Amino acid sequence: MLLVPLGLLCAAAFVAGAVFAGDSAEREAVERFASAWADGDYAAMHDELDAESAARYSAEDLEKAYAEAASTATATAFEIDEPSDEEERGGDTVVPVPVTATTGAFGEVAGEVAVPVADGGVSWQPNLVFPGLDPGEKLVAETKLGKRGPILAADGSVLASGPASARVTNGAGGIVTGETGPAGRKRAEQIAALGLPADADTGTSGLELAFDPLLSGTPGGRLLAAGAGGRTLLARRAPTPGEPLRTTIDAKLQDATAAALGSTFGGAAVLDARDGDVLALAGLAFSAPQPPGSTFKVVTASAALEEGVTRPGEEFPVQTSTVAGGREIDNAYDEACGGDLVASFAHSCNTVFAPLGVRIGGEKLVEEAEQYGFNSPPTIYNPEALALTRPPESTIPNPLESEVEVAVSAIGQGEVLATPLAMASVSQTIANRGVRSPTAMVKAPELSGNYPDVEVMSPKVAAEMKEMMVAVVASGTGSAGALPDATVAGKTGTAELGTSDGRPVTDPEQEQDVDAWFTAFAPADDPRLAVAVMVVNAPGDGGAVAAPIARQILAAGL
């Protein structure tokens, strides 16, 4: 018996039986032909053909014919048994070979391939590619998918439902669920393996793509032998419906988050501060990393405190600019900024945190960022789903080659890039006493990936960071993120993107493009929500533009 996996026709132990004196040269040729089929050795198969067949068909012709048959039948493996004795059928001598095909759409298809023999070899015909085909017949597949499974919010309410060709999303749920449509070239091979047309509607982005196999169910249909005399049914299987996919999304908060962001070009992410579950996403929540600006100072500050490089009461010079790594670093709006670490953080002093990054060192700064999840795929799905969707990583260069790179990275500039999802996770880590939880989007552990928690810092440092973030909102740059009934801990960020005409900034009056950021958690004393908002090409800084959006989201969720 031989097992022949589709696409990798591996050699297996072929039980050919003893060869007796009475065995003909033709039967021995069929045994070798079947063994070569199992090995995927089309040249060896061709060697067993009789002279007439060998002249008519090349080894390449054989390979193409068997591949097309396997594709039509959605075959994933063939099981080939020992050939039977020669028989006379319709005036021809044939050697029956029992073959069982395992298919994706039709289940197991068992039958025989009646191999004609003549002149000591195989008299090859195109019907020998699949069990059950008679001379002149070819395979025809009629396949379809079952009912597509719905995508559900955490409470069971429907976010998306209906067939892939006419998917219906409820409220702002489509932002999370992704889209369906024609598969396109990238997934053509996968779709063909299901026996579906290359332009079949399927998941193309987001959860619809990540968990398309689960939502699609198992295809079914009819496999037919078609010839001049009509069609003969070889196999039939009903399609099985897809399964529902329950997410971690809070439907009401999802709608509120999308409404808060509105038509603003940017993104927002909301997490459960207690376990990291994704509660809401809007816009570019995890699809387009941007420089995080001063929100990255949360990473820098926690690294400095954890490494003992500084302490909350350390005093820093009050100044408008400084030199770090040989480069002049200015504060926003040429503000004279400094004081103790808490005040410097609250007022987002570049003149403190760029040199502090140099004191930490590039290796430790990168290590801290990676503990927060930088330079790794987001933990939203299991690895198989991530491989399908390939969401971008939030990144920091590793290594940071110079002190200048360290200095600018420490204030979230240079080549540091982050998504709102990543920066919401940074806040969730502080809220969760220094432990970063995976940002799961689906409930079932086998689908979420069941990623472990990561202890980024000690509870002591997390408590110090919380007080610093509270000061940002209470008396610093993040006052627009404050709520009347809950204490908010946050951090603003304004990332410089260069100038509107692409030239370096040399004139302070020259117009400059910025991204505005705000990341936060609340209530500070008993955290329930962690949020991050990013506005691309913002009309103002993070405190003025992003913080009010985050405040609106927090107010809706608390």
CB 251 within 8 A of CB 238: no
- Does residue 490 sit in helix, strand or coil? strand
Report pLDDT for 223.
97
Q: In 3D, which of 77, 67, 1, 58 has the Cα closest to residue 34?
A: 1
The domains of the chain, with CATH numbers, are 2-136 (3.10.450.100), 151-246 (3.90.1310), 251-557 (3.40.710.10)
Instruction: Give the pTM.
Output: 0.86
- Does residue 116 sit in helix, strand or coil? strand
CA angle in degrees (0–180, nearest 5) for 497-398-430: 75
Report pLDDT for 172.
86
Report pLDDT for 498.
52
Q: Provide the sign of the torsion angle of the four alpha carbons 51, 57, 60, 63, taken in this order.
A: negative
Name residue 54's amino acid.
A
Cα separation, 308 vs 353, in Å, equals 15
523: tokens are 């209530």
Residue linked to tokens 């808490």 = 342
Per-residue pLDDT 10s for the chain (558 aa) are 555 544 444 333 344 443 433 468 899 999 999 999 999 999 999 999 999 999 999 999 999 999 999 999 999 899 999 999 999 998 889 999 999 999 989 999 999 999 999 999 999 999 999 999 999 999 999 988 899 999 999 999 999 999 999 999 988 888 899 999 988 777 777 777 776 776 788 999 999 999 999 999 988 999 999 999 999 999 999 999 999 999 999 999 999 999 999 999 999 999 999 999 999 999 999 999 999 999 999 999 999 999 999 999 999 999 999 999 899 999 999 999 999 999 999 999 999 999 999 999 999 999 999 999 999 999 999 999 999 999 999 999 999 999 999 999 999 999 999 999 999 999 999 999 999 999 999 999 999 999 999 999 999 999 999 999 999 999 999 999 999 999 999 999 999 875 333 333 333 344 568 999 999 999 999 999 999 999 999 999 999 999 999 999 999 999
Question: What 8-state DSSP symbol labels residue 73?
Answer: T
